[in-house]
Amino acid sequence: MGFAEVLMHLRTILGNMRFCKEDIAAYKPDVIVMIDFPGFNLPIAKWAKPLDYKIAWYISPQVWAWKEKRVKDIKATVDKMLCILPFEKEYYKKFNYEVEYVGHPLVEVITKAKSEHAASKSLSNQKCNTIALLPGSRKQEILKKLPVMLEVAKRMPAYQFVVAQAPGQEDSFYQPLLKDYPNVSSVKNGTYDLLGSATAALVTSGTATLETALFGVPEVVCYKANPISYQIAKRIINIKYISLVNLIMDKPVVKELIQHDMNPDRVYEELNKLLTDQETINNMKTDYDNLWNLLSSGGNASAKAAEIIVSMVLPS
């Protein structure tokens, strides 16, 4: 979200944390399952552990990116850490903390979606000259990135650009942004349908980069934050890449255009390469296949995670 944006919502976050603690105390669950979100969940875990609650954490916090010191608190409070990225198991070994790699849940979700797409004749017939635009889910990131993407669309009138609207945003938010671009339309609650029919994509960094890759769609990853958040992040985040695709594969599979590099000229250049340079396309597709195999090696992630969590409650 950005650092300044979190500070603006701090009162709401702290209020939600109080409510969560009260709700847990009233319900008295057999096990508390934390889902990602360390800024919220780690304080809850540190509060709950002395009260003898069993704690599982599904989807490890990205301690390998920043705030590595949180590993100490995680070891002290979390009974089972369930990871969805393959390199995380080795990462935690450095701290003598055994975690479970369960595979990535997106594999099963996208396997189902691909099957549905393959059965749809109308969808398969659409797969030509469509560029997917995934500018993010929050207003502040959409307003930073979508205008740049739209300027690229203006330069490529032979292609139909389609914006994947965020579920939490109203149509009225997008309409003024899109009104001057005749080759740009939008879809709501149809991101997977869009990716199933896209020739290429411009994608905001985040889970969407991984979803796009698992659909096999060549992509350019775009990231632009407000200047304060970017300058803070650049100094404290310790990773080579910002996209999950590149992080998991540990190499630059997809092009990342960050901050000042995310401008119409550079985005157009990289997108055009994905549409015309067959060697680039082939190399990316090969890497995508390897990514799929790596993420599916853990098995059915949701089922495996559920089995581990249930085993914490049932007698051995």
144 and 254 share a domain? Answer: yes
88: its two tokens: 């995380």
Rounded to whole angstroms, what are the CA distances from 146 to 75, 142, 157, 182, 217?
41, 5, 17, 15, 19
238 and 304 share a domain? Answer: no
Which pLDDT score, from 0 to 100, does residue 124 have? 46
68 and 189 share a domain? Answer: no
Asked if residue 201 has pLDDT above 90, the reply is yes
Q: Which domain holds residue 33?
A: 10-103+298-313
Other residues' Cβ atoms within 10 Å of the Cβ of residue 81: 24
Q: Is residue 18 part of a domain?
A: yes
Q: Is residue 4 part of a domain?
A: no
Q: Is residue 1 part of a domain?
A: no
H/E element holding 200? strand 200-204
- What's the CA angle centered on 71, arms 67 and 76, to 5 degrees? 140
Relative orientation angle of helices 105-118 and 301-313, to the nearest 10 degrees: 140
Q: Is residue 2 part of a domain?
A: no
Helix, strand, coil share of the chain (percent; to 5): 55, 15, 30
User: Percent of the chain at pLDDT above 70?
Assistant: 93
Strands 219-223 and 200-204: parallel
Which pLDDT score, from 0 to 100, does residue 2 have? 56
Which pLDDT score, from 0 to 100, does residue 240 have? 87
Contact partners, residue 150, CB within 8 Å, separation at least 6: 133, 161, 177, 178, 181, 184
- Max mean pLDDT range (87-101, 231-245, 289-303): 87-101
Question: Nearest 5°: phi and psi at 302?
Answer: -65, -45
Q: Is pLDDT larger for residue 232 or for residue 289?
A: 289
The whole-angstrom separation of Cα 130 and Cα 293 is: 27
pLDDT digits 0-9 by tens, 172-200:
999 999 999 999 999 999 999 999 999 99
The residue type at 177: L
User: Percent of the chain at pLDDT above 90?
Assistant: 77
Asked if residue 83 has pLDDT above 50, the reply is yes
Which pLDDT score, from 0 to 100, does residue 218 have? 98
Q: Is residue 50 part of a domain?
A: yes
Q: Is residue 179 part of a domain?
A: yes
151 and 205 share a domain? Answer: yes
161: its two tokens: 């650009």
126 and 88 share a domain? Answer: no
The residue type at 280: T
Which pLDDT score, from 0 to 100, does residue 123 have? 47
145: its two tokens: 């990135």
pLDDT digits 0-9 by tens, 131-169:
999 999 989 899 999 999 999 999 999 999 999 999 999
83 and 160 share a domain? Answer: no
Q: Is residue 115 part of a domain?
A: yes
Domain tally, the chain: 2
| Among the listed residues 192, 194, 182, the one whose alpha carbon sits nearest the alpha carbon of residue 158 | 182
Other residues' Cβ atoms within 10 Å of the Cβ of residue 173: 14
Asked if residue 126 has pLDDT above 60, the reply is no
| Among the listed residues 89, 197, 227, 206, the one whose alpha carbon sits nearest the alpha carbon of residue 138 | 206
72 and 139 share a domain? Answer: no
- As a whole number, mean pLDDT of residues 261-289 equals 97
Asked if residue 1 has pLDDT above 80, the reply is no
The whole-angstrom separation of Cα 241 and Cα 256 is: 8
Other residues' Cβ atoms within 10 Å of the Cβ of residue 279: 8
CATH classification at residue 73: 3.40.50
CATH classification at residue 133: 3.40.50.2000
Residues, the chain? 316
pLDDT bracket for residue 3 (50, 70, 90): low
132 and 245 share a domain? Answer: yes
Q: What is the mean pLDDT of the chain?
A: 91
pLDDT digits 0-9 by tens, 38-67:
989 999 999 999 999 999 999 999 898 878
Q: Is pLDDT larger for residue 238 or for residue 308?
A: 308
Q: Is residue 57 part of a domain?
A: yes
62: its two tokens: 């990205």
pLDDT bracket for residue 236 (50, 70, 90): low
204 and 305 share a domain? Answer: no
pLDDT bracket for residue 8 (50, 70, 90): confident
Sheet holding 219-223, edge to edge: 184-188, 160-165, 130-134, 200-204, 219-223, 255-258
Q: Are 102 and 83 in contact (CB under 8 A)?
A: yes
Asked if residue 92 has pLDDT above 80, the reply is yes
94 and 155 share a domain? Answer: no
Rounded to whole angstroms, what are the CA distances from 49 to 25, 44, 56, 77, 100?
12, 9, 11, 6, 20
Asked if residue 267 has pLDDT above 70, the reply is yes
Q: Is pLDDT larger for residue 152 or for residue 236?
A: 152
216 and 87 share a domain? Answer: no
pLDDT bracket for residue 297 (50, 70, 90): confident
135 and 280 share a domain? Answer: yes
Asked if residue 232 has pLDDT above 80, the reply is no
